[in-house]
């Protein structure tokens, strides 16, 4: 039940739902997601961390870039 609640809380924000939908197409870096949604980089990173903690997305390092991908 805790996992379910964590997932539901993670998806309670419209921007996080948009991020999940965006990441279904291909991996994106924070700067790309930020630009697509028109929100600050720090806000984008915070949203992605919440999604990652709920196991909805995963991050991976690609050189100097950290990209995100759906689970």
Cβ burial of 47 (10 Å; 0-12, 13-18, 19+) is: buried
**Structural domains of the chain in order of their starting residue, each with its CATH number:** 2-70 (1.10.10.10)
Please report, in tens digits, the pLDDT of each residue of the chain (71 residues total): 999 999 999 999 999 999 999 999 998 989 999 999 999 999 999 999 999 999 999 887 777 666 766 66
With left for phi above 0 and alpha for psi between -120 and 50, is residue 42 left, alpha or beta?
alpha
Output the CA torsion sign for 6, 32, 39, 44.
positive
What confidence score (pLDDT) does residue 15 get? Answer: 97
Does this model's pTM top 0.75? Answer: yes
Cβ atoms < 10 Å from Cβ of 57: 23
What confidence score (pLDDT) does residue 62 get? Answer: 72
What confidence score (pLDDT) does residue 59 get? Answer: 84
Q: How far apart are CA 63 and CA 48, in angstroms?
A: 19
């Amino acid at each position: 039940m805790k996992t379910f609640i964590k997932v539901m809380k993670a998806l309670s924000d419209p921007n996080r739902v948009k991020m999940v939908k965006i990441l279904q197409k291909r991996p994106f870096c924070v700067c790309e997601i930020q630009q697509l949604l028109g929100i600050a980089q720090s806000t984008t990173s915070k949203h992605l961390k919440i999604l990652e903690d709920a196991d909805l997305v995963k991050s991976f390092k690609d050189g100097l870039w950290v990209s995100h991908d759906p689970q």
